[in-house]
Amino acid sequence: MSSDITPTNKPVKTVGLHVGDAAPGCRKVDPILIADGVKRTFGGLTAVDVEHVEIPRGAITALIGPNGAGKTTFFNLLTGFDKPDSGTWSFNGTSLAHVPAFKVARMGLIRTFQLTKALALLSVMDNMKLGATGQLGENIFRALLPFLWRKQDEDIEAKALELLARFKLDAKKDDYAASLSGGQRKLLEMARALMSDPKLVMLDEPMAGVNPALTQSLLDHVLGLKAEGMTVLFVEHDMHMVRHIADWVIVMAEGRVVAEGDPRTVMEDQAVIDAYLGAHHDTDLGQTDTGHVEALKELIDDEQ
């Protein structure tokens, strides 16, 4: 880190998204997701201990932090894939406590995974059609009466084709999902998420393992979600991506939210630098990915 850098942890006002100063747990003007006192432990390890956090509606929010900070565990808790020890959280004003993952998805909160969950032995088109909600043919009795669901199925397939074309996967529609590259699977998972017309899309490391040739395409699609009126919350280690597309950044370390703000301000926050470099902590944060630290230092240098 260059010697002329003077990081600050002073709260800074960011217009439009929050009320008052930008600080951990600050109130948002129009939050779509609110979590209070969410805690998850595994034996003697506290993986998540979030006192209060709000996700602003209609914005792209990045959730960042060093390895082991609890980001993916927090995702799992919010989306019903894991159960917290305590806490409350709500989506669009509706409590999500004890709501199973499939019902959370039906409410309009959709997530993707760091390791893609495409059904490998189904075709790309069948994977897409599975993402549609409210299908009449899913009922065992209606399934025996094709005239009840055939028109809906045609509409679902047309929508799937439109999305596949948008994600440049239409030529692969009849291929097994297993035949796709890692980057194409990421695109498929994002496209499938849109089949349910979500209000909030949560992306867990969308760039992990993606060929650089597809990186720009994925970035454009994430920005496209916001342009269509969706809210995006994503976990990412690529600091350049965070700076270029995020409207708001939330930083976690050791399971807690240690900083919030716009990307430029957060990159200069001493709490963020400490979290990534392991400074001023009584307990070891573990080995921090050198690439993440170097990227953070480069971004700070760029802003000076």
- Report the C-alpha gap between 205 and 213 in whole angstroms: 17
pLDDT of residue 11: 39
Q: Where in the chain do CATH 3.40.50.300 domains reside?
A: 1-118+200-304
Residue 8 banded pLDDT, cuts 50, 70, 90: very low
CB-count exposure of residue 216 (10 Å: 0-12, 13-18, 19+): exposed
Residue 96 has pLDDT above 90, yes or no: yes
Q: Which residue has the higher pLDDT, 68 or 210?
A: 68
Span 266-286, average pLDDT:
63
Residue 52 has pLDDT above 70, yes or no: yes
Reading the block at residue 54, the tokens are 């709000």
CA neighbor of 89 nearest in space, from 33, 18, 25: 33
Half-sphere exposure of 269 (CA within 13 A, CB side): 27
Overall fold of domain 1-118+200-304? Rossmann fold (3.40.50)
The mean-pLDDT minimum among 42-46, 210-214, 274-278 falls in 274-278
- Which of 178, 205, 228, 198 has its CA nearest to residue 132? 198
pLDDT (mean) for 206-212: 78
Side by side, the strands of the sheet bearing 60-64 are 109-111, 200-204, 231-235, 60-64, 248-253, 256-261
Helices (H) and strands (E) in the chain, counts: 10, 10
- This prediction has a pTM of 0.79
Q: Model confidence at 198, in pLDDT bands (50, 70, 90)?
A: very high
> What rounded mean pLDDT belongs to the chain?
82
Find the Cα–Cα–Cα–Cα dihedral 70, 73, 77, 81, rounded to 10°. 180
More confident residue, 265 or 210: 265
